[in-house]
Structure 1
Amino acid sequence: MPGELLGDAKLVRSFGEEKGVDDLARAYVDDTGGDLEALGWELTAAMVRVCNALGAYRSPSGEGGALYLVFKTI
């Protein structure tokens, strides 16, 4: 991905490292709880809060993955 799109991701990773939130500090997370959908929304909600975003959207996807997006402006 282009570097200009990664600024907020780096901010969230730094926040996770600083606050000891391992799932935010790592590049990938493991499905230890068995509910990737819930984990995806939890991590997305944290990003919305840390980055002062306006909201989030999860795109439709097939099995094995999902894409969560945050909105900074409308």
Structure 2
Amino acid sequence: SYELMEQMFKVYIYKEGSKPIFHKPFFRGIYASEGWFMKQMEGNRRFVVKDPRKTHMFYMPYSSSMMRELLYVPNSHR
């Protein structure tokens, strides 16, 4: 049930990674939902655990928008 999930569900958030790709939410355009999710997960300790052995899900808080902006090389895929 949903109530049971709220009581038991635990997420481990990877601490590794540096800004701006990791741990920096992006709140504009089509990537806004990923930014809000990242902000909510990192700011709310209800579901977050520090011990990865006690988790149900692992979360890597990266911004696909920032990854594209910083790492993509135009015309490199030819």
TM-score, with length taken from structure 2: 0.28
Comparing both chains, which one has the higher relative contact order based on Cα–Cα distances under 8 Å and sequence gaps of 6 or more? 2
**TM-score, normalising length from structure 1?**
0.29
Larger Rg: 2
